[in-house]
Chain A
């Protein structure tokens, strides 16, 4: 609902250019059009993906509580695993694991991290925060 897709994008938000036959080729990052940023919501993250929190569209009390758990703007959040029933999902933030239901995660706007981080790099980044 909040995404403004300018071009296609792959699952971590890199801009893709598609030709007429539908084949995608990745736009090199230095050629990424200025000012275009892939914005999404937390529930859209695939397991293993990391993103940065942009804003929370939730009632004040819930928002406050989530912020005290580390869901503040610019914090890096990673989708870790789904519960066996598929929902809720466990997110890693600030070195902690927090489980949220889909409808809560849908109200948390995120932008995909600029870098395509490998798992171990994410660990380091998380540890350094």
Chain B
């Protein structure tokens, strides 16, 4: 307590003063809890404009409002306290203090979207019935007022028996009320006085709705007019003909930009990196250290770092699609395709976000109600072309596919090949889903219920946060896994040290080194695919993560005296046949080379059986497809 304030008339009971440690954020999906969480903690949790972005609880300290002694928990959105999905079950368990490892909450911040308050108030009944100190936050109040809505917050506070405040989490207004509420919780009893409150029969949706409608009427709630803009935009984006066409154009446009703008950026960045390496060269003593640092580590790491601009561009586009609210429309357009393979249209949202990375996408499947549908989605998600495949594709396409363009420069051959690879992954995912849904994961069809959020302009703040986070993940990966792998490869490429004929010690030629021997050992297995032993080593090391392939190639061709001076693209071009290169791309499209994905599949399915089956299935498919492609190219004498 603040010592400068007047001495209180009585000591508040110690237990209640010490009680406030954990505050929980709860609210319906897409009400803005995560945005508020970021405001309260100063952390950067992922936010986007569709229901179900948050699928697990997240904790942080309330540093954003100067209360870093308090823990705040962000929860997945729920409509009621009866769970129908995995993410809702998490939210309800945490809220009721039943989640092992998560502290029991002492106070609740109920976040409601004030644009649709009547419906959102339905959640207030079961939450208030918990009897915890509760502050009701009417979020997006700026939008509500701008669109001519209004509400009497004092009356609402009286009706609910809880404090009510209007905030805007995106603008950061009204956060003072949260600070005030938190300061009061410990000092006076402002738990819910349940005797004054008449709550509906809990668990009965109809009576809860009547109760909510009554309250919103009594408090003079006037809902804002729904934004005309969203409907007008949907007239085009969900148009019978223009809708799917625009969807296709968006996808093609993304890749064109990633190539036409991203490639020069990456090339420039690559120049910069190799020049930086040359600047360091005189500083290092000649001999093994220089070779390890520059030819081993720096060649390996910079060969993957050059793809940072292109990956960030891709993430920028995915961010715009997610934050604007278009993703939900894409799910609507795709529902027809999804239902023919026996999946729910809702599965399309995780599948689309798997274009960034399969790990969060697999977690996002928690919003799918039906367990069998959810497992089928988890099993096919790694087929979607994640951003870790992008460097491999980019490297091989730049090395092997000529830069031709069609349709007056609108469509490049390289873009077509890239789109083909994305399409191959998607088709494999759909076919596999169909197989699963018509055999081991058969289930009755589950209803498709999808909320279409209103379009919102993505904010520069949110987009730049995503990019910074992504860049950090990428650099972290390069600084840990890739660094370790390149060092190990360099060491293996220089062992065993042999006694040279002229006296003294010398390192073996690459083919005679340990890595060369391992490579030659596995060569017979991969030779039918058109792969040489260096690619074989790359395939083994890329089981850790796909992009390790590129750095492995960088290190191996850098360590080989015959290709030492060439760029990686040129070295590959002279060492691998076209059939082998195309087969390699197809292999990467289908194979499961990601330990993080396997770990998350194991966690979400709660058994090693599923990731093992998935790994084997994808490997067989990848091998078969690569074999066919290689032999097809050879037969056609391309």
Say whether B447 contacts A72, CB under 8 Å.
no
**Could you say which of B79, B116, B345, B449 has the most chain A C-beta atoms within 10 Å of its C-beta?**
B449
Please indicate the chain A residues that have their CB under 8 angstroms from the CB of B449 in the complex.
62, 65-66, 69, 98-100, 104
Q: In the complex, which residues 89-129 of chain A have their Cβ closer than 8 Å to any Cβ of chain B?
A: 90, 92, 94-101, 103-104, 123, 126-129
Please indicate the chain A residues that have their CB under 8 angstroms from the CB of B84 in the complex.
61, 64-65
* A63 CA to B324 CA, complexed, in Å: 29
Please indicate the chain B residues that have their CB under 8 angstroms from the CB of A63 in the complex.
205
A96-B116, A97-B452 known; A87-B335 Cβ under 8 A: yes
* A65 CA to B119 CA, complexed, in Å: 12
* A99 CA to B447 CA, complexed, in Å: 10
> Cβ of A79 < 8 Å from any Cβ of B?
no
Say whether A88 contacts B448, CB under 8 Å.
yes
Q: How far is the CB of A50 from chain B (nearest CB, A)?
A: 14
Say whether B448 contacts A97, CB under 8 Å.
no
Say whether A103 contacts B447, CB under 8 Å.
yes
Q: In the complex, which residues 9-68 of chain A have their Cβ closer than 8 Å to any Cβ of chain B?
A: 58, 61-68
> Cβ of B267 < 8 Å from any Cβ of A?
no
Q: In the complex, which residues 449-496 of chain B have their Cβ closer than 8 Å to any Cβ of chain A?
A: 449-452
Q: How far is the CB of A20 from chain B (nearest CB, A)?
A: 40
A73-B206, A96-B119 known; A101-B452 Cβ under 8 A: no
* A32 CA to B165 CA, complexed, in Å: 49
Identity of the chain B residue whose Cβ is nearest the Cβ of A94 in the assembled complex: B119
Interface string of B421-450 (1 = CB under 8 A from A): 000000000000000000000000101111
Q: In the complex, which residues 165-222 of chain B have their Cβ closer than 8 Å to any Cβ of chain A?
A: 205-206, 209-210, 213, 222
* A103 CA to B448 CA, complexed, in Å: 9
Say whether B234 contacts A62, CB under 8 Å.
no
A-side interface residues, number (CB < 8 Å): 39
Please indicate the chain B residues that have their CB under 8 angstroms from the CB of A98 in the complex.
449-452
> Cβ of A83 < 8 Å from any Cβ of B?
yes
* A118 CA to B455 CA, complexed, in Å: 25
Identity of the chain B residue whose Cβ is nearest the Cβ of A98 in the assembled complex: B451
> Cβ of B64 < 8 Å from any Cβ of A?
no
* A126 CA to B223 CA, complexed, in Å: 8
* A61 CA to B206 CA, complexed, in Å: 13
> Cβ of B38 < 8 Å from any Cβ of A?
no
Say whether B451 contacts A81, CB under 8 Å.
no
Say whether A104 contacts B448, CB under 8 Å.
yes
Among the listed A67, A80, A87, which residue makes an inter-chain contact with B231, where contact means beta carbons less than 8 Å apart? Answer: A80
Q: How far is the CB of B311 from chain A (nearest CB, A)?
A: 31
Q: How far is the CB of B451 from chain A (nearest CB, A)?
A: 6
Among the listed A97, A123, A129, which residue makes an inter-chain contact with B451, where contact means beta carbons less than 8 Å apart? Answer: A97
A67-B205, A67-B206 known; A84-B239 Cβ under 8 A: yes
Identity of the chain B residue whose Cβ is nearest the Cβ of A59 in the assembled complex: B447
Identity of the chain B residue whose Cβ is nearest the Cβ of A123 in the assembled complex: B225
* A88 CA to B329 CA, complexed, in Å: 11
Say whether B448 contacts A99, CB under 8 Å.
yes
Identity of the chain A residue whose Cβ is nearest the Cβ of B337 in the assembled complex: A85
Please indicate the chain A residues that have their CB under 8 angstroms from the CB of B225 in the complex.
123, 127
Q: How far is the CB of B351 from chain A (nearest CB, A)?
A: 17
Identity of the chain A residue whose Cβ is nearest the Cβ of B123 in the assembled complex: A68
Please indicate the chain A residues that have their CB under 8 angstroms from the CB of B223 in the complex.
95, 126-129
A95-B226, A100-B449 known; A68-B206 Cβ under 8 A: no
> Cβ of B253 < 8 Å from any Cβ of A?
no
A65-B79, A80-B231 known; A101-B238 Cβ under 8 A: no
Identity of the chain A residue whose Cβ is nearest the Cβ of B331 in the assembled complex: A99
* A76 CA to B239 CA, complexed, in Å: 25
Please indicate the chain A residues that have their CB under 8 angstroms from the CB of B595 in the complex.
none
Please indicate the chain A residues that have their CB under 8 angstroms from the CB of B336 in the complex.
83, 85-87
Say whether A90 contacts B118, CB under 8 Å.
no
Identity of the chain A residue whose Cβ is nearest the Cβ of B333 in the assembled complex: A84
Please indicate the chain A residues that have their CB under 8 angstroms from the CB of B238 in the complex.
81, 83-84, 90
Identity of the chain A residue whose Cβ is nearest the Cβ of B122 in the assembled complex: A68
**Could you say which of A66, A81, A84, A104 has the most chain B C-beta atoms within 10 Å of its C-beta?**
A84
Say whether B335 contacts A88, CB under 8 Å.
yes
Identity of the chain A residue whose Cβ is nearest the Cβ of B446 in the assembled complex: A62
Say whether B80 contacts A64, CB under 8 Å.
yes
Say whether B335 contacts A83, CB under 8 Å.
yes
A84-B239, A85-B336, A87-B336 known; A72-B209 Cβ under 8 A: yes
Report 21 cross-chain contacts, Cβ distance below 8 Å, ordered by A residue: A64-B82, A66-B449, A67-B209, A68-B205, A72-B210, A83-B238, A83-B243, A83-B333, A83-B336, A88-B332, A94-B119, A99-B345, A99-B449, A99-B450, A100-B448, A101-B339, A101-B345, A104-B447, A127-B225, A128-B222, A129-B213
Q: A70-B209, A126-B223, A127-B225 are in contact. List 14 more A-B contacts (CB 8 A).
A: A61-B369, A66-B449, A67-B209, A68-B123, A70-B119, A72-B206, A72-B209, A81-B238, A82-B240, A84-B244, A85-B333, A98-B449, A99-B449, A101-B448
